Amino acid sequence: MGQSSLASRHATPFADGGPRKMLIGADWVEAVSGRRFESRNPATGDLLATLPEGDAEDIDRAVRAARAALEGPWGRFKPDERQAVLLRLADLLDRHFDELALLDTLDMGGPISRTRLGRKRMVGLLRFYAGHATALHGETIPNSVPGEVFSYTLREPVGVVGAIIPWNAPLGMSVLKAGPVLATGCTMVLKPAEDASLSPLRFAELVLEAGVPPGVVNVVTGFGRTVGAAIAAHPGIDKVAFTGSHLTGQDIVRASAGNLKRLSLELGGKSANIVFADADLDAAVPGAAMAAFANTGQVCSAGTRLFVERRIYDEFVGRVAAFGRALRVGDGLDPDTQLGPLISQRQLDRVTGYMDIGLKEGARAVSGGARLTEGALAHGHFVPPTVFADVTDGMRIAQEEIFGPVVSAIAFDDADDLARRANASMFGLGAGVWTRDVRKAHRLAPALRAGSVWINCYQLMDPAVSFGGYKMSGYGRESGAAHLHEYLNTKSVWINAT
């Protein structure tokens, strides 16, 4: 099916090439500067929309709106009223999900078959946060002070939250940031990635439609060097919730020192995925392949360091490569597409650059290894699933985050030394273990320095289960009850009744 017929079948007014605005308070506005930038489909290069190029002055406007909402109507909402708003938003998200999934496919390239799969998780997240909105409470604490002295705690919203999200899951990240904000009574200034801002803007429309007061959720579009930097440094922002690269995370830590903002950082990864010879290979092959290739490898916890026991190494690596070669790469609008394009020319250059580095380091490309340029794929940022064999621990392709569909296969003999080798990375976001021996899995899981360990599976997630990293993969947690705590302050109250 041709590109034009695909586009016509999946037209949406929100991505018709026209101008979009950003949300500050109750108003959809232009940037103070009047400047705009383009959003283009990474599969075809087609113009989807033009967006306001915000800067520090726009962030200041948004922070004022968020503070006014916090101290105004939103601050008087009871827990059950916040719960009701979240439940209405969940229903609206469910009702409009196909449109939002389409926007993500158009804007960041993810196959429509994948973006539509997010419905259950994203709607479930909002309903999970709604359930917690009425369950947040302090404690009455016995103390040992002489006399009639009572002590208790209050859990209060941390305040105005600056949320900065990446382009690889724009709708999902919007939900993950907005959910705890609304459940706890905070307000938010959201900066979507400049490469994929359309679904966050459409989501903001649904937030207002759900009855969230103006100013509670604000969306300022623009670039990290201006809008993101302004959020990190703004003295009126009480907390920054950031998902993105570890380098940007370090910049945010430095910039946040002015008012000692609270931070939660979900950063990069170079996750170890370990396959023992006793594993169910029929399950482990597709599991390991999609751990690295899903979303065209643009996943922070992707299992891109594939440790394979040596006696099955050649067989297993060959099967993973064959699985990757069989995946259909193409325009995400095609329902048969399994892997879409990389997000941008910049990311294409990065991934193909690492492919060249791997070959120069002495790794062997069992499959893939170069950009796809034939037919319609020549117009987009397409690369094939790539498997490098004969990789050693110290190679750059085994240590640095590539953020593309590239897996580095590393052989191991000594299971006793495996945890040390797997932990020999500055990252610690995820890890996988494939084995039929449950004792082996239970011994290895606590030894792996990673925020999530998947055993005989990979990348499973649930609203009730927390997700986050160790080391340079950041700190703080998303999902689960722990996520709500990131958005609350604890106040102790003492009463002398004598």
Set out the domains of the chain in order of their start, with CATH numbers. 3-267+474-492 (3.40.605.10), 272-463 (3.40.309.10)
- 194 catalytic per annotation: no
**Cα–Cα dist 165/154, whole Å:** 30
- How many other C-beta atoms are found inside a 10 Å radius of the C-beta of residue 491? 11
Can you tell me whether residue 20 is helix, strand or coil? coil
Question: Residue 405 — φ and ψ, nearest 5°?
Answer: -80, 65
Asked if residues 275 and 282 have their Cβ atoms less than 8 Å apart, the reply is no
User: In the structure encoding, which two tokens stand for residue 416, read together?
Assistant: 């006793």
For 216-244, give the secondary structure using H, E and C: CEEECCCCHHHHHHHHHHCCCCCEEEEEC
DSSP string computed for 442-478: HHHGGGS-SSEEEESS-S---TTS-B--EETTEES-B
Q: Which residues is 493 bridged to in the sheet?
A: 152
- How many other C-beta atoms are found inside a 10 Å radius of the C-beta of residue 13? 7
For residue 375, give every residue at least 6 positions away whose Cβ sits within 8 Å of its Cβ, in sequence order, or none: none
Asked if residues 41 and 49 have their Cβ atoms less than 8 Å apart, the reply is no
Asked if residues 483 and 128 have their Cβ atoms less than 8 Å apart, the reply is no
Residue 3 pLDDT: 52
**Cα–Cα dist 355/334, whole Å:** 27
Asked if residues 423 and 448 have their Cβ atoms less than 8 Å apart, the reply is yes
Can you tell me whether residue 142 is helix, strand or coil? coil
Q: What is the pLDDT of residues 444-497, one digit of tens each?
A: 999 999 999 999 999 999 999 999 999 999 999 999 999 999 999 999 999 999
Residue 9 pLDDT: 54
Q: How confident is the model over 344-353, as a mean pLDDT? A: 97
pLDDT confidence band for 6 (50 / 70 / 90): low
Share of the chain above pLDDT 90, in %: 95
Distances (CA, A) of 115 to 106, 169, 171: 10, 9, 9
Asked if residues 161 and 189 have their Cβ atoms less than 8 Å apart, the reply is yes
Q: What is the pLDDT of residues 112-162, one digit of tens each?
A: 999 999 999 999 999 999 999 999 999 999 999 999 999 999 999 999 999
Residue among 213, 191, 196, 193 nearest 89 (CA):
213
Instruction: State the residue for tokens 């690269």.
Output: 245
pLDDT confidence band for 7 (50 / 70 / 90): low
Residue 435 pLDDT: 98
Q: Quick check: 427 pLDDT over 60? A: yes
245-276 burial: b if 16+ Cβ within 10 Å, else e: bbebbebbbebbeeeebbbbbbbbbbbbbbbb
Residue among 110, 445, 127 nearest 293 (CA):
110
What is the rounded average pLDDT for all residues in the chain?
96
Q: Quick check: 1 pLDDT over 90? A: no
Q: Which residues is 226 bridged to in the sheet?
A: none
Q: Quick check: 11 pLDDT over 90? A: no
**Cα–Cα dist 399/419, whole Å:** 15
Catalytic, out of 53, 194, 266, 478: 266
Q: How confident is the model over 210-228, as a mean pLDDT? A: 98
Helix boundaries (H) for 306-424: 313-326, 345-361, 396-399, 418-422
Q: How confident is the model over 315-336, as a mean pLDDT? A: 97
- 457 catalytic per annotation: no
pTM over 0.85: yes
Any idea how long the chain is? 498
User: In the structure encoding, which two tokens stand for residue 481, read together?
Assistant: 């009850």
Instruction: State the residue for tokens 């359930």.
Output: 131
Q: How confident is the model over 85-105, as a mean pLDDT? A: 98
Catalytic, out of 186, 194, 300, 401: 300
Strand 47-52 relative to strand 452-455: parallel, antiparallel, unpaired? unpaired
Q: How confident is the model over 44-48, as a mean pLDDT? A: 95
